[in-house]
């Protein structure tokens, strides 16, 4: 089937699950707009359109997790804006403070907020208690961080650098170990395979070897977690949004040298 048909089939699996579980028992679907830590898996536009349609049809809320994609990483302020969908709830964290201090936030549609209000009761609001909630230092830092993002046009910059990073590394698609290269804003994944046709994952030792090779040359990259057992074979590259042109060039040259060196073509 085509990529588009496959994406629609994946969305259908969500609807089948909602119906199987009983529509009235499903409060929400929660998803990242693009799976990042699981291997930089960028969906086709039809997938998100269809998931949104399914949620609306069954009265199920659509929660978009912007913990990684949010605050510019995707080349837009929020990852879901790349697809034009409208979530009911958005979760946020990392980029909110650029991780200088821990802070997270959840935004909800007005009517969801209002649903918790009850003026006849002094507890007529949504109460969520946590030990470090509302930490003033973290909030002050987040505000300053958002100012810097705007002042330095880091969202637009992420888009430009992401494209540059992808085009700099796309030549590696010819490499015998590389099954695919995917990017979304300034996050990029290189899928390492044992077989370019079947896409059978490369051995974990090879994945770790490439990461160690980069580290020895001063470049720290990551890999995806084992979201699906045996498929933690995607190198992940997500440099700071404030990276310089030279930083991006360094990443391209180092990754290329490591893959073409000890991991010969």
Q: Where along the sequence are the contacts to ligand PLP (CB under 6 A)?
A: 32, 36-37, 65, 67-68, 93, 104
Q: Is the CB of residue 79 less than 8 Å from the CB of residue 162?
A: no
DSSP 3-state assignment of 187?
strand
**Strand (E) or helix (H) holding 48:** helix 45-58
Minimum gap (Å) between residue 34 Cβ and ligand PLP: 10
Rounded to whole angstroms, the Cα distance separating 65 from 48 reads 13
Minimum gap (Å) between residue 175 Cβ and ligand PLP: 28
Rounded to whole angstroms, the Cα distance separating 166 from 76 reads 17
Minimum gap (Å) between residue 159 Cβ and ligand PLP: 20
Rounded to whole angstroms, the Cα distance separating 151 from 246 reads 21
Between 15 and 66, CB nearer to ligand PLP: 66
Q: Is the CB of residue 254 less than 8 Å from the CB of residue 235?
A: no
Between 32 and 159, CB nearer to ligand PLP: 32
Rounded to whole angstroms, the Cα distance separating 52 from 84 reads 10
Minimum gap (Å) between residue 104 Cβ and ligand PLP: 5
Rounded to whole angstroms, the Cα distance separating 264 from 33 reads 35
Question: Which residue, 245, 247, 244, 241, is CA-closest to 96?
Answer: 241
Strand partners, 222: 236
Provide CB contacts within 8 A for 257, sequence distance 6+: 217
Minimum gap (Å) between residue 240 Cβ and ligand PLP: 17
Between 67 and 169, CB nearer to ligand PLP: 67
Minimum gap (Å) between residue 176 Cβ and ligand PLP: 31
Between 8 and 146, CB nearer to ligand PLP: 146
Between 32 and 88, CB nearer to ligand PLP: 32
Between 238 and 259, CB nearer to ligand PLP: 238
Between 63 and 210, CB nearer to ligand PLP: 63
What's the Cα-to-Cα distance from 67 to each of 29, 106, 122, 148, 172, rounded to whole Å?
A: 16, 10, 32, 19, 29
Minimum gap (Å) between residue 174 Cβ and ligand PLP: 31
Query: What's CA 222's distance to the chain center, in Å?
Result: 14
């Amino acid at each position: 089937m085509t990529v588009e048909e496959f994406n629609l089939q994946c969305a259908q699996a969500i609807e089948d699950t909602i119906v199987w579980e009983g529509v009235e028992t499903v409060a929400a679907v929660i998803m990242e707009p693009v799976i990042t830590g699981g291997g930089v898996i960028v969906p086709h536009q039809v997938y998100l359109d269809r998931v949104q349609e399914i949620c609306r049809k069954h009265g199920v809320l659509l929660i978009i997790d912007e913990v990684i994609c949010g605050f510019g990483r995707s080349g837009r302020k929020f990852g879901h804006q790349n697809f034009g969908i409208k979530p009911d709830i958005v979760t946020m964290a990392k980029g909110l403070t650029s991780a200088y201090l821990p802070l997270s936030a959840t935004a909800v549609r007005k009517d969801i907020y209002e649903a918790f209000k009850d003026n006849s009761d002094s507890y007529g609001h949504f109460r969520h208690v946590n030990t470090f909630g509302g930490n003033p230092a973290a909030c002050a830092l987040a505000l300053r961080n958002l100012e810097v993002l705007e002042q330095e046009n880091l969202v637009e910059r992420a888009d430009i650098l992401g494209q540059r990073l992808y085009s700099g590394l796309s030549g590696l698609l010819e490499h015998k170990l590389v099954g695919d290269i995917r990017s979304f804003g300034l996050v990029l994944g290189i899928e390492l395979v044992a077989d370019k046709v079947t896409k059978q994952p490369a051995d974990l030792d090879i994945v770790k070897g490439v990461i160690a090779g980069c580290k020895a040359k001063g470049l720290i990259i990551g890999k995806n977690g084992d979201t699906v057992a045996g498929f933690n074979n995607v190198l992940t590259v997500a440099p700071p949004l404030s990276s310089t042109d030279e930083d991006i060039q360094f990443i391209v040259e180092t990754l290329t040298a490591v893959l073409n060196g000890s991991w010969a073509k």
